[in-house]
Structure 1
């Protein structure tokens, strides 16, 4: 039986989703456009007792398969959008930027 999580959508509605998430939903979560919440809409926090397996955290926390460190320059744009959101960018603004702009604004400058 799949695990069910709750996500707050862009319009504020709470939606039950089974794991694993469909790629487009996972991408929107990674970009910070969706937020993981409890069933009642309160902010989701993972308890110390819960296993990390199969969990999808809120933006700014560890995302399965993504480190909390800056993505490689060769990483795909959604990873850079997620990194920009972690660094404080508005999710929609970050999604509207090019990958090169995201790297320039939120990446570590290359040593010269």
Structure 2
């Protein structure tokens, strides 16, 4: 059976095909919002992702959740991925615990 393939847009805008399961480093960058899942032609991906692809919960992570979960939550709430990745977990919790994810703009 062939591996399932997804497409991600990297920081430079290039669309890259990736086989699942994703390497841990790529999965972490996807969870942090540094990469974006897209369709093969680069348009936004809207179908529910498979279990292998990190997705964000509808509410903020638990305060005991790993820092990467908080970085991903902050990005979903509108934070710049690089700035969120540079914050401490305590700062992320303080700044984003009460926020909700933003709706992506049509051009994203």
Identify which range, 36-45 or 73-82, moves more after superposition: 36-45
Large movers: runs of 4+ above 6 Å: none
- 2:104: which partner in 1? none
The two structures have a TM-score, normalised by structure 2, of: 0.81
CA offsets per residue over residues 73-106 of structure 1, 9 Å max, x none? 1111100001111111111110010101101111
Instruction: Compute the TM-score of the two structures, normalised by the length of structure 1.
Output: 0.78
Matched pairs, number: 97
Tell me how far apart the structure 2 counterparts of residues 55 and 23 of structure 1 sit (CA, whole Å): 11
Give me the whole-angstrom Cα distance separating, in 2, the residues matched to 1:22 and 1:33. Answer: 15
1:78-89 superposed matches below 5 A: 78-89=68-79
CA contact under 8 A between 1:9 and 1:34: conserved in structure 2?
yes
Aligned to 2:102: none
CA distance in 2, matches of 1:30, 1:7: 12
Bigger-Rg structure (1/2): 1
Gaps of 5+ in 1: 58-62
Structure 2 runs not aligned, ≥5 long: 99-108
1:107 to partner: Cα distance: 1.3
Q: Root-mean-square deviation (CA), in Å?
A: 1.8
Structure 1 residue 94 and structure 2 residue 84: aligned?
Answer: yes
Aligned to 1:60: none
